Amino acid sequence: MWFRVDPRSPTPVYRQVVEGVKEAVAKGVLASGERMPSVRELAARMTLNHNTVARAYQELVREGVIEVVQGRGAFVSPRPPPLDRERRVAALLAALRPVVREARYLEMEDEEVVDLVRRALADWRQGRGGEGA
């Protein structure tokens, strides 16, 4: 599969599936319009409960990552339209809050934080951004 799931992680399994799929899309492993495996197929392949995978798919639909066509299966969505994107950028900004808070607690300089971000971006590119939640 394009990602792994750790049942011992504190992040719910269904959430890990959601993130795993998004990551696969981000990395181009799953292309726009590509057909997703069925809920039961993915569940079988990853030895997960199909209810768990179903819930993940629901969430992915809600987040606009995939689309379900009646009786024909699920497909990777085209990239979200600009408006939606704005909302996501806002979400990203919100996601940065705990990071900034911790950085401030550690009395890090702005540039130190920025350097760390660049490093995180580079890590990802080198494929080292592979697992975990």
Partner DNA sequence: GTGGTCTAGACCACC
Contact residues for its own copies, defined by CB under 8 A = 7-8, 12-13, 19, 22-23, 25-27, 65, 67-70, 72, 79-80, 85, 88-89, 91-108, 110, 113-114, 116-121, 123-124, 129, 132-133
| Residue 116, binding choice from its own copies, DNA, none, Cβ under 5 to 8 Å by partner class | its own copies
Distance CA(120)–CA(84), nearest Å, equals 25
| Residue 103, binding choice from its own copies, DNA, none, Cβ under 5 to 8 Å by partner class | its own copies
Give the total of residues touching DNA (CB under 7 A): 27
| Residue 124, binding choice from DNA, its own copies, none, Cβ under 5 to 8 Å by partner class | its own copies
- Min dist CB 58 to DNA, Å, is 5
Q: Which of residues 33-92 bind DNA (CB under 7 A)?
A: 36, 38-41, 48-52, 54-55, 57-58, 61, 68, 70-74
The verdict on 24 binding DNA (CB under 7 A) reads no
| Three-state SS letters, the chain | CCCCCCCCCCCCHHHHHHHHHHHHHHCCCCCCCCECCCHHHHHHHHCCCHHHHHHHHHHHHHCCCEEEECCCEEEECCCCCHHHHHHHHHHHHHHHHHHHHHHHHCCCCHHHHHHHHHHHHHHHHHHHCCCCC
Interacting residues toward DNA by CB under 7 A: 7, 10, 12-15, 36, 38-41, 48-52, 54-55, 57-58, 61, 68, 70-74
